[in-house]
């Protein structure tokens, strides 16, 4: 059984909502902007692209958000947007929730350590501790959106998103849930910025996000969340497309299988050590990392973009970071045949890979897209 993508919610440094991301694709930019680290950080670090979750207050009572940390707010906003995009704001009580996070609530974790280091062991904050637990975002989503079906959080760094998606599809196949909110969330914190700075000594300050240029560190650190509302294939009358398969394996022993007619979104995020896969020569290869930045659950943003690609049946060109040259593998998007399939590929430096294949559904034309509340 395939899973239908009924709604998408995205929150990133580029803005909020799938319509915002779609506009960036249509307008060929801009690239995600990053800002200097906040003042007062002892050791500096990489700039990053922050997210803004203030419009959560339009959806939920300030009281219920009072003790919720930045990571959970980001995840909750994206999950709520996915339901709204699917015109299903109320959700279903049996909806499952599968959340991926590479590092979890790092800001809250270090804030909790601050309370120990400043006030002593007996001064540790219970509120910060409970929010630092990795499944806190999934719990807040369940509490605020009434999704009380199966509920899991997975964490395997860059592989986390495809892991969560595989669970969501499995739940639908087994009938464990009538629909699943599946997504990924990660946040920036000064310590992560510092570590990234230390690990990437050869950073090229003049350029950034040149995915196919090897050997230089050009990642742009980002944070954000991306969620999808998935249902079994038979049910919905509208949506973006279908998840045909979720594959995982380890190179070189296993080989990813790319359908012949698929375009491949690589998710190479300009880390110096990012694995450059040997891709089949007859496939079109694109990389949209420049629009959302570098974060462990970046593959989720690729899936959001791939969803738009299969629904519209077209690719979107990506400007080169050095100036307005259009380069999508030399491919002129406007004259191209309809894109029916898109693969999102992620490979870690150790060879573990995840591969998500999306396909269009002929009845999901652009006009059939659910016109949800679309607050952004």
Q: Name the site residues for another protein (rule: CB under 8 A).
A: 42-43, 67, 97, 103-104, 106, 109-110, 112-114, 116-117, 120-122, 124-126, 129-136, 138-140, 142-143, 146-157, 159, 163, 166-167, 170, 173-174, 176, 191, 194-195, 198-199, 248-250, 253-254, 350, 352
Nearer to another protein, 141 or 304 (CB): 141
CB 294 within 8 A of CB 268: no
Beta carbon of residue 348, minimum distance to another protein (angstroms, whole number)? 9
Beta carbon of residue 351, minimum distance to another protein (angstroms, whole number)? 9
User: Which phi and psi angles does 305 have, rounded to 5°?
Assistant: -70, -40
Beta carbon of residue 277, minimum distance to another protein (angstroms, whole number)? 16
Beta carbon of residue 132, minimum distance to another protein (angstroms, whole number)? 7
Nearer to another protein, 143 or 279 (CB): 143
Nearer to another protein, 63 or 253 (CB): 253
Nearer to another protein, 175 or 324 (CB): 175
Q: Which residues of 22-42 are buried (b: 16+ CB within 10 A; e: fewer)?
A: bebbeebeebbebeebeeeee
Beta carbon of residue 341, minimum distance to another protein (angstroms, whole number)? 22
CB 272 within 8 A of CB 200: yes
Beta carbon of residue 93, minimum distance to another protein (angstroms, whole number)? 8
Helix (H/G/I), strand (E/B), else coil: 107? helix
CA atoms within 13 A on the CB side of 209: 26
Residue 180, token pair as written in the block: 């699943």
Nearer to another protein, 168 or 285 (CB): 168
Q: Which residues contact 150 (CB under 8 A, 6 or more apart)?
A: 96, 97, 98, 171, 176, 177
Beta carbon of residue 51, minimum distance to another protein (angstroms, whole number)? 20
Q: Which residues contact 223 (CB under 8 A, 6 or more apart)?
A: 12, 13, 48, 49, 50, 51, 74, 186, 187, 188, 295
Nearer to another protein, 131 or 376 (CB): 131
Beta carbon of residue 243, minimum distance to another protein (angstroms, whole number)? 15
Residue 210, token pair as written in the block: 């040149």
The helix (H) or strand (E) run that includes residue 98 is strand 96-100
Nearer to another protein, 55 or 170 (CB): 170
The residue assigned the tokens 């400007």 is 319
Nearer to another protein, 31 or 112 (CB): 112
The residue assigned the tokens 């958000």 is 65
Of residues 372, 84, 60, the one with CA closest to residue 228 = 84
Residue 119, token pair as written in the block: 């006030």
């Amino acid at each position: 059984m395939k899973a239908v993508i009924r709604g998408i919610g995205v929150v990133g440094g580029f803005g909020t909502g799938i319509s915002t991301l779609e506009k960036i694709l249509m307008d060929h930019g801009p690239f995600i902007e990053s800002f200097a680290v906040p003042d007062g950080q002892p050791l500096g670090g990489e700039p990053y692209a922050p997210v803004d979750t203030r419009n959560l207050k339009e959806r939920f009572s300030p009281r219920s958000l009072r003790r919720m940390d930045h990571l959970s707010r980001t995840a909750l906003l994206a999950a709520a947007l996915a339901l709204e995009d699917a015109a299903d704001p109320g959700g279903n009580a049996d909806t499952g929730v599968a959340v991926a996070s590479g590092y979890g609530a790092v800001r809250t974790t270090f804030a909790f350590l601050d309370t120990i280091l400043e006030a002593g062991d007996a001064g540790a904050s219970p509120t910060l501790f409970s929010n630092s637990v990795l499944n806190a975002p999934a719990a807040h989503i369940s509490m605020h959106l009434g999704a009380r079906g199966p509920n899991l959080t997975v964490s395997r760094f860059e592989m986390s998103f495809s892991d969560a998606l595989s669970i969501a599809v499995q739940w639908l196949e087994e009938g464990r849930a009538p629909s699943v909110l599946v997504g990924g969330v990660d946040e920036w914190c000064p310590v992560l910025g510092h570590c990234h700075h230390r690990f990437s000594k050869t950073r090229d300050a003049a350029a950034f996000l040149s995915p196919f240029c090897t050997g230089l560190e050009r990642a742009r650190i980002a944070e954000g969340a991306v969620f999808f509302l998935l249902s079994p294939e038979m049910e919905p009358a509208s949506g973006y497309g279908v998840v045909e398969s979720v594959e995982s394996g380890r190179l070189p022993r296993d080989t990813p299988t790319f359908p012949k007619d698929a375009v491949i979104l690589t998710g190479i995020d300009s880390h110096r050590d990012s694995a450059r896969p040997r891709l089949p020569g007859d496939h079109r290869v694109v990389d949209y990392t420049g629009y959302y930045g570098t974060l462990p659950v970046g593959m989720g943003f690729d899936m959001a973009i791939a969803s738009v690609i299969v629904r519209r049946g077209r690719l979107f060109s990506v400007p080169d970071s050095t100036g307005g040259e259009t380069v999508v593998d030399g491919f002129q998007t406007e004259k191209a045949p309809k894109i029916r399939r898109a693969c999102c590929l992620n490979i870690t430096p150790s060879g573990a890979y995840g591969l998500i294949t999306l396909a269009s559904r002929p009845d999901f034309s652009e006009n059939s897209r659910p016109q949800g509340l679309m607050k952004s």
